[in-house]
Structure 1
Amino acid sequence: MLRELKATTFEKVSETRRSQELSDIEIDGRLAEFFKDNPCITTQQLCSLCGLRKATALRRLQKRVDEGKLTHPGYIRSPFYFPVPGWFGVSKNR
Structure 2
Amino acid sequence: MGYFYPTLTATEEISADTPRKNSKVRLKAIQFRSDKRLKQSVGTVKIKQMKRVKHSAKLSEVEIDMRLKEYFTDHQIMQRSDFQGITGMVRSTAMIHIRRLRKEGKLLNIGISNQPIYVPAPGFYGKSRDYQPVR
- What TM-score range do you get, normalising by the shorter chain? 0.7 to 0.9
- Distance, in Å, in 1 between the alignment partners of 2:53 and 2:122 is 36
Amino acid at match of 2:75: N
Matches within 5 A, 1:9-88: 17-88=54-125
- Percent identity over the alignment is 31
TM-score (norm 1): 0.79
Q: As a proportion of its length, which structure holds more strand?
A: 2
Structure possessing the higher radius of gyration over alpha carbons: 2
Q: As a proportion of its length, which structure holds more helix?
A: 1
**Runs of at least 5 residues in structure 1 that lack an aligned partner in the other structure:** 7-14
Q: Which runs of 4+ in 1 moved over 4 A?
A: none
What SS does structure 1 have at the residue aligned with 2:54? Answer: coil
Larger RCO (alpha carbons 8 Å, 6+ apart): 1
**Runs of at least 5 residues in structure 2 that lack an aligned partner in the other structure:** 8-28, 30-51
TM-score (norm 2): 0.56
Root-mean-square deviation (Å): 2.1
Equivalent pairs counted in the alignment come to: 85
Is the 8 Å Cα contact of residues 42 and 80 (structure 1) preserved in structure 2? yes
